[in-house]
Chain A
Amino acid sequence: MANGSIPVVVALLAATFRLATPLIFAALGGVISERSGVVNIGLEGIMIVGAFFAVYGSSLTGNPWVGLLFAVISGALVAAIHAVLSIHLKADQTVSGVAINLFAGALTSFLIFKLFGRQGQTDGVAALPYPAEAMAKVPVIGPFLAELNWFVFMAIILVFVVHYVLYYTPLGLRIRAVGEHPKAADTLGINVYKIRYLCVIMSGVFAGLGGATLSIGVMNLFREGMVSGRGFIALAAMIFGNWKPFGAAAASFLFAFAQAFEILAQKFGWALPTEAYLAFPYILTMLALAGFVGKTTPPAADGVPYNKGER
C-alpha cells in the first residue's frame, strides 16, 4: 500500500491509523451501547451491513457520500432490530447479537446476488475521494497525511465527541446512570428505554461507519468476509479500553499497530508466525479481563434488561 519513497516509520504509522479507524468506529459504538446497559455483540454484523450499503449507495448514485449516508442508515436500522429485541422484548442480548451477525452475513450475500447479479463480491464503485496529493504538500507531516483517508479524521474527531458527550453533558450523565443503575435513573424521571434506544441506534450508526471505512474508504467494493472479525476485535478494544472512549481508541491503535507491524515484520522476514500477530488482540484482552493487564470494570447494569415497574 505504501509507496517505496516514504520512510518505513511513516508507512508504519500511517498503516496503524488506517487499520485502527474501523476498529475505533465500532468500538465507540460498543462503548455508547454498553454504557447505557445493552451488550452489543452484533457490531460485526452491523459493520458488514454498513460496508455493503456504503457500496450500494455509491453504486446507485455514483456519489460515495451518499454511500456513507446509506451505511449510517442501514447500520442504524439493524441496530434498531437489536434495540427492540433487547430493550422491549427483553431478549437475551447475546442471542440477539448472534442472530444479527448471522442475519447480516446471509442478507448481504443475498443482496450481492440480487442487486449486483454476482456472487461473493460487488462491482467496483466510486470510493470516497481523498486529496492525497494536496495533503502531501503539508509541511513536515505531509507524507503521513497523504497515506490516510477521510475516515481516519472522522474517527478521531468522533472519539473526542463521544468523550465530551459522555462526561460533560446532561445526556451523557443520563446514559451512564441508565447503564449503572437504571432503577435510580427511572426514579429521577429519566426514560430508561428512550436512552437505551438512542444509544443502541447510535452504536449502529458508528459501526455502520466502521463498515463503510472498509468498503469505500480503503477499497472500492464489498466482498463477503471482508469485515473478518473486526467487529469482535472492536469489542475486545472496547473491553481493553475499559468501556471508555479514549481507552477504546487507544486499544484500537494498539491492536492496529500489532497488525501493521506484522506486515512490516513479514517484509523483513522476521520469524514470528502471522497467526501470532492475529491472535494478539484476543490474548491481550483475555489477560486484561482476568486482571493480569490493567483493570476492567463493565457498567453495572450491562446486559441486564430493564423491567419498568418491577420491584
Chain B
Amino acid sequence: MANKNTTSSKLRAALNTLIFPLISIVIAMFIAVFFVMWAEGENFFTATITLFQAIWEGSFGTSFSIIETLVFVTPLLFTGLANAVAFKTGLFNIGVEGQFIMGIFAAAAVGLIPGIPAVIHVPLVLISGMLIGALWAAIPGFLKAKVGTNEVINTIMMNFIAMFFVNYMIMGPLNEPGKATTPIIQNSAKLWRFLGEANRVNAGLFIGLLLVVLVYILLWKTTIGYELRAVGLNPHAAEYGGISIKKNIVLAMAISGAIAGLGGAVHVAGIQYQAIQLFGFTGFGFDGIAVALLGKSHPVGVLLSAILFGALNSSSLNLQLANIPKDIVYLIQAIIIIFVAADYIYKWIGEKRKKEAMING
C-alpha cells in the first residue's frame, strides 16, 4: 500500500514537471500557426495542417529525413547536457557556444596529424575537444570563484573571443590555401558513419546518448554530483555542510565545458571533417540553453527536447520547399523559451489557489 502511494505520488510529480513544458510547446505551436496564417493567407485549419505536415515530413516523413533529424539532434544532446550540468549547479553557462567552437577548432587541428591508427586518433580528437572546452569554461568558473565576477557576462565575452580566435586559426595557420576552411582531417580521425558515407549520421549520436546516461549517473549517483546539486540548490547550506562552493563552481563549469567541447569535436569528426570560417555563431550552444531549459535540466528531459529542437531544425528545409518561411521553426523555439521562462505564472496560479483554499476554508 505504502509502496503504491509513493509510486503514484512520483508519477504525479513527474506529470507536474512535464505539464509545464508541454503547455509551452502547445502555445508556441499555436502562435506559429497564426504566423503561417498571416504568411500564407490561409484559414486556421489549413494553416495548421500545412505547418504540421511540413514539419512532420521534413523531420520524420522519410528515412532520409529521419537520418537528417538525428544529425541535427546530435550536437544538441551535447550542448543541452552541458547547459543542464551548469544549471544544476546554479550557474548559467552561456559560453557553451564558445566551448563548442573551441572543440571544433581542437578536433580540426588534432585531426590533421598524419600516421596515427584510428583506434588512437579518434579518442585523441575527442579528448582534445573535451580538454579545450573544459579549459575555456574553467576560466570564467575560476573568475567567478576567485574574484566573484558574473559568469554570464564572462562567458558571453568568451564566446566572441573563441569565435575570433578560431577564425584567425582557420584563415591563418591552419588555412587550406584558397578556401575559408581548414584542410580535411585524416580518415583515421573520422567517426564511423554507420549508415554509409552518404548518410551524415555517425557514431557521435551514440556518444551523445551514452552521455545522457553518464550525466544522469554523475548528477544523481555520485558524490561529485550530489555536491554540484547541493551548491545549485542552496550554496550557503552546502557550504555549511562542508561542501566547497568555489571548488564546485570551477568543477561544474569544467564539466559543462568538456561536454560542450566534446560536442564540437564530434561535429567535426562526424559531420564537417574540417573547421569552416564562422560569420556568426553556430547556434548550437544557444539552442542548447533552450534544450536544457525545456528539459528542466534533467538528462531525459534534455534528450526529449533535443529531439524536438533537432526535428524542428531539420524540418526547416522542407518548410522552405513547401513555401513556408523556414524562420517559423525558429520562432517556435524562441516562443517556447519565452513561455518556459515565464513558469512563474504557474506557481502564481498554484499559490493563488492555495490562498483561496485557506480563506474559503
What residues of chain A have their CB less than 8 Å away from a CB belonging to chain B? 39, 41, 81, 85, 89-92, 94-96, 98-103, 105-107, 109-110, 113-114, 225, 228-229, 232, 235-236, 239, 273-276, 278-279, 282-283, 285-286, 289-291, 298
**Contact assessment for A85 and B167 in the assembled complex, using a CB-CB cutoff below 8 Å:** no
**Contact assessment for B157 and A236 in the assembled complex, using a CB-CB cutoff below 8 Å:** yes
Given contacts A95-B341, A98-B289, 17 further A-B contacts (CB under 8 A): A85-B338, A89-B345, A91-B344, A92-B92, A99-B334, A101-B286, A102-B290, A102-B334, A102-B337, A103-B331, A109-B327, A110-B39, A232-B156, A235-B153, A236-B157, A286-B161, A290-B149
Contacting residue for A113 out of B143, B327, B338, CB 8 A: B327
Contacts A89-B344, A94-B92; A113 near B325 (Cβ below 8 A): yes
Residues in B with CB closer than 8 Å to A81 are: 338
CB distance from A113 to the nearest CB of B (A): 4
**Contact assessment for A228 and B331 in the assembled complex, using a CB-CB cutoff below 8 Å:** no
Residues 70 to 115 of chain B near chain A (Cβ within 8 Å):
92, 94
Contacts A95-B341, A102-B286; A114 near B158 (Cβ below 8 A): no
A239 to B325, CA, bound (A): 38
A186 to B341, CA, bound (A): 26
- Asked if B61 is at the interface (CB within 8 A of a chain A CB), the reply is no
**Contact assessment for B327 and A110 in the assembled complex, using a CB-CB cutoff below 8 Å:** yes
Q: Report whether over half of chain A's contact residues are helix, strand or loop; otherwise say mixed.
A: helix
Residues in A with CB closer than 8 Å to B328 are: 110
A89 to B348, CA, bound (A): 9
Residues in A with CB closer than 8 Å to B325 are: 109-110, 113-114
A290 to B154, CA, bound (A): 9
29 contacts between A and B (CB under 8 A): A41-B152, A41-B156, A91-B342, A91-B343, A92-B341, A95-B289, A95-B293, A95-B337, A95-B341, A99-B341, A100-B338, A102-B334, A105-B334, A106-B330, A109-B327, A110-B39, A114-B39, A235-B153, A273-B172, A275-B165, A275-B167, A279-B160, A283-B161, A286-B143, A289-B147, A289-B153, A289-B154, A290-B143, A291-B147
Residues in B with CB closer than 8 Å to A102 are: 286, 290, 330, 333-334, 337
For the complex of A and B, 3 pairs with smallest distance between CB atoms? A106-B330, A103-B334, A91-B341
A236 to B345, CA, bound (A): 32
Closest to B345 in A: A89
Contacting residue for B280 out of A99, A225, A282, CB 8 A: A225
- Asked if B340 is at the interface (CB within 8 A of a chain A CB), the reply is yes
Contact bitstring B249-283, A, C-beta under 8 A = 1, else 0: 00000000000000000000000000000011000
**Contact assessment for B334 and A106 in the assembled complex, using a CB-CB cutoff below 8 Å:** yes
Residues in B with CB closer than 8 Å to A225 are: 279-280
A296 to B348, CA, bound (A): 36
Residues 291 to 324 of chain B near chain A (Cβ within 8 Å):
293
Residues in B with CB closer than 8 Å to A228 are: 280
- Asked if B44 is at the interface (CB within 8 A of a chain A CB), the reply is no
Contacting residue for B153 out of A96, A107, A229, A239, CB 8 A: A239
**Contact assessment for A89 and B337 in the assembled complex, using a CB-CB cutoff below 8 Å:** no
Residues in B with CB closer than 8 Å to A109 are: 325, 327, 330
What residues of chain B have their CB less than 8 Å away from a CB belonging to chain A? 35, 38-39, 92, 94, 143, 147, 149-150, 152-154, 156-158, 160-161, 164-165, 167-168, 171-172, 279-280, 286, 289-290, 293, 325, 327-328, 330-331, 333-335, 337-338, 340-345, 348
**Contact assessment for A285 and B341 in the assembled complex, using a CB-CB cutoff below 8 Å:** no
Contacting residue for B161 out of A89, A103, A282, CB 8 A: A282
Residues in B with CB closer than 8 Å to A89 are: 341-342, 344-345, 348
Contacts A89-B344, A102-B337, A113-B39; A276 near B330 (Cβ below 8 A): no
Contacting residue for A94 out of B94, B149, B160, B161, CB 8 A: B94
Contacts A85-B342, A94-B94, A106-B330; A114 near B38 (Cβ below 8 A): yes
Residues in A with CB closer than 8 Å to B290 are: 98, 102
CB distance from B345 to the nearest CB of A (A): 6
A65 to B92, CA, bound (A): 40
Contacts A102-B330, A102-B333, A286-B158; A279 near B341 (Cβ below 8 A): no
CB distance from A257 to the nearest CB of B (A): 18
Residues in A with CB closer than 8 Å to B286 are: 98, 101-102
Contacting residue for A98 out of B168, B171, B337, CB 8 A: B337
A98 to B157, CA, bound (A): 15
**Contact assessment for A279 and B161 in the assembled complex, using a CB-CB cutoff below 8 Å:** yes
Residues in B with CB closer than 8 Å to A92 are: 92, 341
Residues in A with CB closer than 8 Å to B335 are: 103
Closest to A291 in B: B147
Residues in A with CB closer than 8 Å to B156 are: 41, 232, 235
**Contact assessment for B35 and A110 in the assembled complex, using a CB-CB cutoff below 8 Å:** yes
Residues in A with CB closer than 8 Å to B160 are: 229, 232, 278-279, 282
CB distance from B277 to the nearest CB of A (A): 11
A101 to B167, CA, bound (A): 23
**Contact assessment for A285 and B344 in the assembled complex, using a CB-CB cutoff below 8 Å:** no
A228 to B279, CA, bound (A): 9
Contacting residue for A286 out of B154, B167, B344, CB 8 A: B154
Contacts A98-B94, A102-B290; A279 near B147 (Cβ below 8 A): no
**Contact assessment for B327 and A275 in the assembled complex, using a CB-CB cutoff below 8 Å:** no
Residues in B with CB closer than 8 Å to A285 are: 153, 157
CB distance from B205 to the nearest CB of A (A): 25
CB distance from A77 to the nearest CB of B (A): 14
